Structure 1
């Protein structure tokens, strides 16, 4: 019996040792760090896709053309099993971004890809790319940041779900700028220790370069050249991981994050002008000209982005016909144009209201009930312009001693939770330029401090203006202003985080300011006459994580 007990004790001891060894092995496995693999510098071929462009009507903005490109791209994808170490790279496969680099490979689990673009003489450009493929076994990206015409060194860091990483780098020479636009904006002013906001500047409507928009980093280096058709891109809006913009004066396009055109909207019978806005129901609200009318830039459309259906939402002949009768076409040696309102910006204010900027009348208008029963809620503008009209009593009362806006652009609605109900801000680029030719017999008061100069000059100044509107009291108050380079027409202002982005279009100067109006950095840029707008965005959720 003692012998059996001894055997039992030995057996239990061995069992204890075995269990202890298993526990130790498990702990060791948990403690073992994830593998990191640095592959050094590799040679990665970059493919291109070509189509017959001999037809004079050829356009990338044709869904049939896009399908042909997609079939060629699919053919490349099917040639082999691409991996992160040996991926498929294609330069600008959809024809919408000169230096957009398409990247594709297969993967076993979810992962993240960060990359750095290095070019001699430029700061490094580092981003985490957004995977456009919803299939967890495949990855597709459009890499943004290659500098046109330069040798770009690209470094990849691929982090897998288990924490392991793979790193390598390769070199690619990017195509030159298709439009010939300078790849650098030279910074002429910078405040000491100034730190610019995170994001990328993007241009809209650079005169002399129709059909192109440019993306620049904080150092003024071009990081993308976006290609449209022959029209300025008045504005870009984002909708369900796609970008919407005008590509001709009667056509808009929807472009996914890879650069593929996924939908085109033709607005027959209308011409686009100046601005678009997106509402909560997936409808685009569009400033337009009705080709069947005798006047221009006085119609608002709605466009359903899912169905492609569009209709006239507002015609200001109906809302302000009595005022139109007081105006007349403006003629020159070449043409006669009845531009009696010249709406140049639109912003939505709540569920059924909009804020419009009328350059011709130097007025800001709020319209309510825009989808079913439109009405003018109020006007902000020169009292003399509206004296004796049926809209005279719609003017808000100026609170304080200041000069009102003249020829303003990019009027933007800004809510603030700290304000009482009925109060909000409107901010704008106040061009400070008086232009009122549609009423040649007008002899009323003008904005006395406004300039009459069309060309850029150093004596005159435009301003950033910010109003506090109190609808309950029926007042507006100037709560912030600061001078910016003068621009008689076009131009934009954007409150962007803790910065204010200003494009003085006719002066051809981009500036970033702090919230107090102190200049942080300034970039003169190339254009024939002007750039219509310049804004800033992180492009997170579209190109980047």
Structure 2
């Protein structure tokens, strides 16, 4: 019996030792994984101070595989486009995809002799398409390096395939090439155990920017000790003017005369944390106000009448035409196969930025869902009468969010109002509430009833009941206004809360227009809205350099990104009012966002 107990005890001790060793091993593995992830994140911040030398310095010249786009040594597939319009032809894009597929079928490509194509679909001038196969399942991490000590290396992990899993077949875009420079692309292949199995370096000269976008922005380092967030700044800005001279024939005698033609070249620009241009997405006369990832594609405005869906390889999958309308602000996705677009109807009597359209992604059908001229009929009539014209710019819709089934939240800049509308698209759309300074709606009794009341919140001190009663007898004392409502706001973001009827609304309060205080500041605002109580409360307010027109704020946990359109710069700062980094553009931006593009271009 004692022998059995002894065996059991020894077995238990061995099990405990084994379990402890296993837990220690798991803990050690977890620490190593966390350490590697932190190193990768640091590497992907694209900051010179975080990098120990440049990747190209570690490669011998003889080991670099040159890539050429022309001449006798041409080994890169290139594509010609006659115009931006041709780039965004889904048929043209499909033809290019078919061409690449044919090349892939007719030859075996390895890492050493990979299939390379420069911007084959025309949708990103700072990118190369690459395709090759490996013997075992693996993933790739690449680094873009240039021989310029002021430009940091750009490193990312490529999405192996559509599913994001390991694969033997690798096809992706190398994003982040530097315009006008010889770029050195190092591709490192890792197996399922995260062990390096192969590495090759290629060199290629990339053309200059088509739009004349700055290769490097002027960057000012701030005093904040917060770490800058990972990602690329997505910049929507005015096009750069280009002057060309054309010869035209005039008069009966057909005299030739030279005429100057001024045009603007537009693009959505991608900048890294060091202010280096890493992407240039062309647009035709209008660059939109936002870019959204919808499943496996990104969607953005091609021009003011068309939007496009583009996949991770750069192929244009589908375009959508706003027949009878022009886009005049941002768009948003409802999560159910529809986008909602702020627009202006065609025609000389059409009121600017007064319509909201629904576009079905399946078939491209366009339906007008909100007409502010009808919904706010009394306000429109009054504005039209004062201006003595029908096409008065009276409402200025500039932002839209889907907040429920057949429900949208609209930002009307010219009315300094946030407006929630339900039953959109029906015969009787309903105004659920308005967030605005109540004085603005005094002339309109029915609309004034929809304006939510300001709430001072639970932290506001309450007077004793008897004191308030005495004061009421002696004089009718008004309660102090707990905060200033927004004036001339931009770029709203809606977040539903778990409590019934509650939501958070973030926005840029431009502090401009009728009723605004002339103090030279704009603000980041975050409201807590309680529809059940009929109130809204200012939960967060951060002062910013003023922009009266355009701009936006993107709020993060530790930092925010602010686009100051009037100042021609954008900044990443902390919530204590200190700057992490400021980027000076030299040209006026409309909006700036920051996206890491994880799950799209990068893993």
Give 1:299's aligned residue: 355
Shift of 1:344: 0.3
Q: Which residue of 198, 214, 227 maps to 1:182?
A: 214
The reply on whether 1:81 has 2:76 as its aligned counterpart is no
Q: Deviations over 1:74-116 (max 9, x none)?
A: 3543452111222111111111111111011123443211011
| Mapped partners of 1:102, 1:484: distance in 2 | 41
Shift of 1:313: 1.3
| Mapped partners of 2:496, 2:368: distance in 1 | 28
Relative distance call for 1:475 and 1:168 in structure 2 (3 A) is same
Q: Which residue of 351, 364, 375 maps to 2:418?
A: 364
Alignment of 1:135-154 (within 5 A): 136-154=167-185
Relative distance call for 1:109 and 1:364 in structure 2 (3 A) is same
Q: Comparing both structures, which one devotes a greater share of its residues to helix?
A: 2
Shift of 1:302: 0.9
Give 1:428's aligned residue: 507
Shift of 1:137: 4.9
Q: Which residue of 374, 386, 394 maps to 2:429?
A: 374
Q: Deviations over 1:403-457 (max 9, x none)?
A: 221111001112344xx3322221111111115xxxxxxxxxx23x1x3xxxxxx
| Mapped partners of 2:298, 2:94: distance in 1 | 19
Alignment of 1:363-442 (within 5 A): 363-370=417-424, 372=426, 374-389=429-444, 390-400=446-456, 401-417=482-498, 420-434=499-513
| Mapped partners of 1:411, 1:516: distance in 2 | 22
* Native 8 Å contact 2:67 2:203 kept in 1: no
The reply on whether 1:131 has 2:160 as its aligned counterpart is yes
Give 1:102's aligned residue: 129
State the SS of the aligned residue for 2:560.
strand
| Mapped partners of 2:200, 2:523: distance in 1 | 49
Moved more, 353-362 or 514-523: 514-523
* Native 8 Å contact 2:409 2:420 kept in 1: yes
| Mapped partners of 1:115, 1:80: distance in 2 | 24
State the SS of the aligned residue for 1:327.
helix
| Mapped partners of 1:350, 1:379: distance in 2 | 17
Give 2:143's aligned residue: 116
What do you get for the CA RMSD once the two structures are aligned? 2.5
Q: Which residue of 86, 90, 105 maps to 1:59?
A: 86
| Mapped partners of 1:328, 1:544: distance in 2 | 50
Give 1:193's aligned residue: 225
The reply on whether 1:205 has 2:260 as its aligned counterpart is no
Q: Deviations over 1:461-510 (max 9, x none)?
A: 21111112122221112222122121110101112343211101111120
Structure 2 unmatched runs, 5+: 1-57, 69-75, 241-263, 457-481
State the SS of the aligned residue for 2:586.
coil
| Mapped partners of 1:462, 1:141: distance in 2 | 42
* Native 8 Å contact 1:189 1:523 kept in 2: no
* Native 8 Å contact 2:84 2:283 kept in 1: no
* Native 8 Å contact 2:226 2:558 kept in 1: no
Aligned residue-pair number? 481
| Mapped partners of 1:463, 1:163: distance in 2 | 46
| Mapped partners of 1:116, 1:310: distance in 2 | 43
Moved more, 366-375 or 223-232: 366-375
Q: Which residue of 583, 586, 592 maps to 1:534?
A: 592
Alignment of 1:117-516 (within 5 A): 117-119=144-146, 120=148, 121-132=150-161, 136-161=167-192, 165-208=197-240, 210-292=265-347, 294-328=350-384, 337-370=391-424, 372=426, 374-389=429-444, 390-400=446-456, 401-417=482-498, 420-434=499-513, 446-447=515-516, 449=517, 451=518, 460-516=520-576
Structure 1 unmatched runs, 5+: 1-37, 436-445, 452-458
| Mapped partners of 1:329, 1:267: distance in 2 | 30
Shift of 1:282: 1.3
| Mapped partners of 1:511, 1:490: distance in 2 | 15
Relative distance call for 1:492 and 1:115 in structure 2 (3 A) is same
| Mapped partners of 1:351, 1:277: distance in 2 | 14
Q: Deviations over 1:148-189 (max 9, x none)?
A: 112222221111346551112222222211111111122124
| Mapped partners of 2:602, 2:307: distance in 1 | 24
Q: Deviations over 1:45-100 (max 9, x none)?
A: 251423363xx796211123223433443354345211122211111111111111
Shift of 1:518: 3.4
Relative distance call for 1:521 and 1:324 in structure 2 (3 A) is same
State the SS of the aligned residue for 1:325.
helix
Shift of 1:375: 0.9
* Native 8 Å contact 1:329 1:339 kept in 2: no
| Mapped partners of 1:89, 1:306: distance in 2 | 32
* Native 8 Å contact 1:329 1:340 kept in 2: no
Shift of 1:329: 7.4
State the SS of the aligned residue for 2:449.
helix
* Native 8 Å contact 1:39 1:168 kept in 2: no
Q: Deviations over 1:290-319 (max 9, x none)?
A: 225632211111111122112111222332
TM-score of the two chains, using structure 2 as the length reference:
0.75
* Native 8 Å contact 1:44 1:86 kept in 2: no
* Native 8 Å contact 2:351 2:390 kept in 1: no
* Native 8 Å contact 1:185 1:523 kept in 2: yes
| Mapped partners of 2:386, 2:302: distance in 1 | 28
Relative distance call for 1:329 and 1:68 in structure 2 (3 A) is farther
| Mapped partners of 1:57, 1:92: distance in 2 | 13
* Native 8 Å contact 1:203 1:215 kept in 2: yes
Moved more, 400-409 or 484-493: 400-409
* Native 8 Å contact 2:220 2:583 kept in 1: yes
| Mapped partners of 2:127, 2:315: distance in 1 | 11
